[in-house]
Every structure is written in C-alpha cells, then in structure tokens.
C-alpha cells in the first residue's frame, strides 16, 4: 500500500486506450490511493463514467457547468485536493490544450487551477506523436515540469507500428510509486555527498584536434539536480558541455579521461555515492603532437592506448562509495550491462540502448534498465529530468536495502 493517503486525480481523455483506465484505477487503488476520475466528453465514447465510478468508488466528474457536481466537489476543490494529476490517456488534443493553457472543459480547468504536479501518459497515432506541433507542445510541457510517462512503441489500434501507445496501467502505476518515492526522498539524502561524472571526454590528437563522442551531459546533470533537490551535497566532474550547472551543485571541469580519473579518485573516497554517467573515451592518443599535424600522406594512423577505467578504480577503493555505472549499448543491452556490473564490481548499473532513436546521447529523453546483484528495474522512456528523479529514488531504495 505505497500510495496510502495519496490523492490522485485521474484525467481520462478520448483515445482508444481509455478502456485501460479502469485497470489503472484498480491498480492505483490496490496501492491505497484515493482516486477521483475526471473525464472529457470524448472519453465517454470509449468507457462509461459508471464503470470508472464503480472501480474508483467515487463519483466521476465530467462537466464544468454541472451545478450538482460543483456543489459536491467543485473544480477548484478537486484542483486543491490532488497530490498528483495523472492524465492517461492524454490525447494530442489535450496535450495541445494544456500547452496553450486553455480552460474550456473540466480537466483543462483543473490543470490550470492546481498547484499539484501533472503527469501525462500520451496515447495517439504514431504520426500524430511525431508531428512537429505535438513535439513542440511536449517540449513546452516538459520545460514547465510536466512529467511525461511514455508513450510506448508497438502496434497501434489503427494498424500503424511505432511510438504512441499509452504505457500499460502497471507501468503508469509504477511511475506514480516512483513519483511519490522521490517526493519522500526529498530530505532523505540530507548529509550525503554524491559525486557524479557527466558529459564526454576529449582526447587530444594535436593542439587543434581531439577524439570525443556525442554525450551532451544532460543525463548526468539531471541526476546531479535530482540528487541535490533530494538533499545531497553534489559535485559534478564534467567534460566539456553546454549545460547549465544545476543550482547548488559544485562543478569541476575537465577535458580528458586522465583528468577525470585524477579528480574522481581524489574525491570518491569521501563520498557516499559515485555515479559514472560520463561517456569516457576508452582510449587516448599515445603521443599527442605538440604542433598541428600537417596533411601529407593519403592515410595516417594514430596509436591509441587504453585509459584507466574510472568507475572500476572507484569501485576498487577500500573505502568504496555506493558505485553506480552506466552502460551505453547498441545491442544485447542486458547481457553487456550485467557483464560490466560484475567485471567492474559495481553496486548498480543503469543500462541504456543508445541505438534507439529519440533517447540516449544528446536527446532530452531516455529510458533505463537498472541492474544490481539479483535484481533489476525498468525506468521507461521519459524526459531526463523525470528519469533522473526515478534513478535517484532507485539508488536510495537500494542503499536502504543494503544497510
């Protein structure tokens, strides 16, 4: 009963996935949540208010202009009552209304009138999801702090295949658990020191050239921000990125893997948690040319030598912090991630498939599967801010379990 005493307004809008709302309500109630369902008019073409009233145990609200309903629990009261508003399914139309700040029905009005966080589980045809207008709207909503859960990929009701399926009720329920866990974690990291590597490294070839990769630093910085907000003292050891330093975090700028290694090993023995999110170059140039290399032959070779493995060296410390690695894979994600977890002696590894479009390197979104000895957890596709909160809550849970 992890959602006991939590008040959730479930907004149901008009998509075929609305038929899954009854199951979602049941799963949230199984965890002890109080549910009030708000339906749009078009949602009622897919599932009846009576069904949702029966499973939620509360009257369903569907009109802004119903004096009887307003007298019972008016839209402002509902907006204040909510600890969280979840819109599932969230259609392209509802997403556009939220973005524009419209208040032409009960659900959009409640969303404007609430100070509670809002989460949406988009559900629409894959072409509608990829439409520039929808993607622009999603960016605006993400920037405003609206949590985006999904969508998932697969076969759609219309026969298309692609992104746009609403997440399964179980996954949405797990997002709710993560959300409330991360709120509860707000002060639980108080007094802890977290050290996080982020961004790429640059391995010099000569004074003007280097070897690097596509890491933007967004994932590592989002983790730093989430840990700081949860009360930790956070230091980021950062490769060259164009991301603003999160409020109240320390930042050490480095260029190469050797520099990152030196700072990490110096600081790691005094921290509680070390997270290696940086995309560290595995190799560096054996002999960096002091002068710019001149073009001459048709081909040239560079001798590369192996860089030290930062996260493995931290995990080998006698006073080892709780050590979390990342695995950026393009195939056999679970197999390679578990191999790294074991080989590098990590407490946990967060694996991402960096071959999937729209996630991983330099994207605003990501999806992770987190592995530890005898356990794992899927953190589905969402924006990196939200994902980082879930990862921090997962790390915190694991640390509690280990003590």
**Catalytic residue ranges:** 158
Name residue 274's beta-bridge partners. 195, 323
Q: Which residues in this chain contact ligand PMT in the complex, by CB under 6 A?
A: 197, 199, 215-220, 257, 276-280, 282, 307, 309-311, 325-328, 340, 352, 354, 360-362
How far is residue 376's CA from residue 250's CA, in Å, rounded to a whole number? 31
Which DSSP letter does residue 58 get? S
For the CB of residue 129, give the shortest distance to ligand PMT in the complex, in Å: 22
Q: How far is the CB of 95 from ligand PMT (least distance, A)?
A: 24
Asked if 98 and 120 count as a contact pair (C-beta separation under 8 A), the reply is: yes
Q: How far is the CB of 307 from ligand PMT (least distance, A)?
A: 4
What separation in angstroms does the CA of 188 have from each of 181, 226, 311, 387, 403? 10, 12, 25, 18, 14
Q: Which is nearer to ligand PMT, 68 or 242 (CB)?
A: 242
Copy the structure tokens of residue 271. Answer: 């921290």
- Shortest gap between Cβ of 377 and ligand PMT (angstroms)? 16
Helix or strand run (H / E) with residue 170: helix 169-184
Strand locations in 40-170 (E): 84-90, 118-122, 147-148, 152-155, 161-165
DSSP per-residue letters across 216-254: -SHHHHHHHHHHHHTT-EEEEEE-S---PPPTT-EEEE-
| Helical segments of 246-293, H only | 257-268
Closer of 2 and 361 to ligand PMT (Cβ) = 361
- The minimum distance between CB 117 and ligand PMT, in angstroms, equals 23
Looking at the chain, the number of H-run helices and the number of E-run strands are: 14, 19
Helices (H), 269-362: 310-315, 333-343
Name the residue nearer to ligand PMT (CB basis): 292 or 343: 343
């Amino acid at each position: 009963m992890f959602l006991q005493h939590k008040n959730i307004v479930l907004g149901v809008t008009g998509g075929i996935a609305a038929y899954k709302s009854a199951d979602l309500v049941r799963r949230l109630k199984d965890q002890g949540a109080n549910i009030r369902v708000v339906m749009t008019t078009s949602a009622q073409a897919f599932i009846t208010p009576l069904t949702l009233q029966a499973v939620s145990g509360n009257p369903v609200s569907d009109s802004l202009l119903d004096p009887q309903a307003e007298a019972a629990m008016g839209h402002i009261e509902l907006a204040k009552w909510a600890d969280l508003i979840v819109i599932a399914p969230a259609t392209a139309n509802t997403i556009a209304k939220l973005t524009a700040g419209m208040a032409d029905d009960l659900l959009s009005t409640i969303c404007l009138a609430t100070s509670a966080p809002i989460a949406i589980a988009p559900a629409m045809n894959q072409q509608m999801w990829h439409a520039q207008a929808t993607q622009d709207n999603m960016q605006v909503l993400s920037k405003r702090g609206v949590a985006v859960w999904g969508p998932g990929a697969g076969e759609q009701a219309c026969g298309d295949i692609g992104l746009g399926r609403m997440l399964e009720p179980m996954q949405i329920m797990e997002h709710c658990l993560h959300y409330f866990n991360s709120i509860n974690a707000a002060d639980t990291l108080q007094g802890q020191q977290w050290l996080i590597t982020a961004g790429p490294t640059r391995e010099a070839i000569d004074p003007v050239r280097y070897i690097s990769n596509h890491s933007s630093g967004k994932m590592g910085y989002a983790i730093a921000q989430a840990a700081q907000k949860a009360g930790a003292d956070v230091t980021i050891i950062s490769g060259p990125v164009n991301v603003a330093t999160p409020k109240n975090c320390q930042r050490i700028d480095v260029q190469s893997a050797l520099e990152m290694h030196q700072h990490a090993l110096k600081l790691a023995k005094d921290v509680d948690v070390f997270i290696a999110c940086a995309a560290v170059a595995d190799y560096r140039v054996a002999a960096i040319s002091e002068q710019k290399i001149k073009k001459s032959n048709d081909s040239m070779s560079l001798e590369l030598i192996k860089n030290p493995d930062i996260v493995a060296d931290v995990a080998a410390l006698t006073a080892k912090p709780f050590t979390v690695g990342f695995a950026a894979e393009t195939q056999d994600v679970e197999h390679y991630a578990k191999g790294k977890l074991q080989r590098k002696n990590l407490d946990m590894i967060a694996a991402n498939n960096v071959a999937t479009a729209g996630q991983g390197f330099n994207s605003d979104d990501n999806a992770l599967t987190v592995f530890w000895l005898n356990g794992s957890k899927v953190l589905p596709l969402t924006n990196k801010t939200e994902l980082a909160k879930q990862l921090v809550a997962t790390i915190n849970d694991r640390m509690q379990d280990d003590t």
